[in-house]
Amino acid sequence: MDITELYGQVLSGTVTDLNKDEAFVQIEGYTFALDLNELTEIPELGDEVAGFVYENQAHKNKMTTVMPFITQGVWDFAEVTDVRTDLGVFVNVGLEDKDFVVSLDDLPLEHNEWPKKGDNLMVKLEIDHKGRLWGKLADIELYTQIARSPEREMKTLLNKDEEGTVIAIRESGAFVMTDSYYMAFIHKTEQGQPLHIGQHVKARVIGSSHRRLNLSMKPRAYEEITPDAQMIVAVLEHSRDNKMPYTDKSDPDEIREYFGISKGSFKRALGNLMKQRKIEQKDGYTYLK
């Protein structure tokens, strides 16, 4: 038996040697090192122990009793720890000394659509014909199987915010699995910015179709910040204590002299910012929250 046939499995073996840090466990004639700090008591020679076996980042054969949260039969979200355009992306599956690669063959052709460090991907472990362990990226069909239907909840979902993870990019837009396990779609005209696989997004529900939610990342009408409001925020950000001696009660001439806009425009901008709870007025001052 080739040793690669053992990788990625939970197996039992016999303790054949010990040192102060590790027990050496033999399985099918191959030896795997098990960290003693994982055990409640030090084993004796000849004892049987079981654990997950793999080759770590330093190409050392290891056994661990701390199971990775992703295995060959278990899907879960794993955090991206590194990106290599010539290989793929590395994900953390819960092993201290080994991250697994999601192959570039599973990723989009365009590198700008690839996951970035800190993003999350739903993967499981897969062994190729050479016995190498990889992270296998979930496809749309899997998400469809686990997704909830939004139809009964649409009245309560409509115009509400949903958070989720981008799971696929298409020419017309991006598919998202929400944290509530609804399948969703964001058309490219509703994105506001290009998206990538694994990205965490927040968007509002604008409808549904094909048992999916339709989402928009564009701000609601009252959330849009006008140029006048942007100017006021900039003034507050650069003011001492983030406050200014101008409110909706200020003199129109003073407002025009300082801001270059009418009092009506100034009041509309203040109202816009107060609705979004970005500012507050108190004792003749406007404060940035």
- Could you read off the pLDDT of 225-275 as tens digits, one per residue? 788 888 999 899 999 899 999 999 999 999 999 999 999 999 999 998 998
Q: What is the CATH number of the domain that holds 21?
A: 2.40.50.330
For the chain, the farthest-separated pair of C-alpha atoms sits apart, in whole angstroms, at: 92
| 134 and 151 part of one domain | no
| 124 and 156 part of one domain | no
Domain extent for 128: 76-138
Q: What is the CATH number of the domain that holds 101?
A: 2.40.50.140
| 203 and 232 part of one domain | no
In this structure, of 6-15, 55-64, 215-224, 266-275, the range with the lowest mean pLDDT score is 215-224
Q: Among 192, 216, 240, which residue terminates a domain?
A: 216
| 129 and 162 part of one domain | no
pLDDT at 131: 79
Is 71 a member of any domain? no
Is 244 a member of any domain? yes
- Could you read off the pLDDT of 69-110 as tens digits, one per residue? 999 889 999 999 999 999 999 999 999 999 999 999 999 999
| 80 and 133 part of one domain | yes
Is 69 a member of any domain? no
Residue 232: count of CB within 10 angstroms of its CB: 25
Neighbour-count burial of 21, counting CB atoms closer than 10 A to its CB (0-12 exposed, 13-18 middle, 19+ buried): exposed
Q: Cα–Cα distance between 199 and 288 in angstroms, integer?
A: 30
Band (pLDDT 50/70/90 cuts) for residue 221 is low
User: Can you give the pTM of this predicted structure?
Assistant: 0.73
Q: Is the pLDDT of residue 185 over 80?
A: yes
Is 153 a member of any domain? yes
Is 263 a member of any domain? yes
Q: What is the CATH number of the domain that holds 261?
A: 1.10.10.10
The contacts found for 263-271 with CB under 8 angstroms, 24 or more apart, are: 265/228, 266/228, 266/232, 268/226, 268/228, 269/226, 269/228, 269/229, 269/231, 269/232, 270/229, 270/232
| 199 and 182 part of one domain | yes
Q: Where are the alpha helices (H) located in the chain, listed in sequence order?
A: 140-146, 154-157, 227-237, 252-259, 263-275
Rounded to the nearest 10 degrees, what angle do helices 252-259 and 263-275 cross at?
80
| 196 and 229 part of one domain | no
pLDDT at 210: 87
- Could you read off the pLDDT of 15-46 as tens digits, one per residue? 999 999 999 999 999 999 999 999 999 999 99
| 133 and 82 part of one domain | yes
Average pLDDT, the chain: 93
| 198 and 158 part of one domain | yes
Q: Among 185, 216, 247, which residue terminates a domain?
A: 216
| 199 and 151 part of one domain | yes
Contacts of 270 (CB under 8 A, 6+ apart): 229, 232, 247, 248, 279, 281, 286
User: How big is the chain by its Cα radius of gyration, in Å?
Assistant: 28
| 50 and 89 part of one domain | no
Band (pLDDT 50/70/90 cuts) for residue 287 is very high
Is 175 a member of any domain? yes
If one counts the domains in the chain, the total is 4
Q: Among 138, 156, 179, which residue terminates a domain?
A: 138
| 228 and 277 part of one domain | yes
- Could you read off the pLDDT of 127-145 as tens digits, one per residue? 888 878 999 999 999 999 9
Is 70 a member of any domain? no
Structure tokens at 236: 């507050």
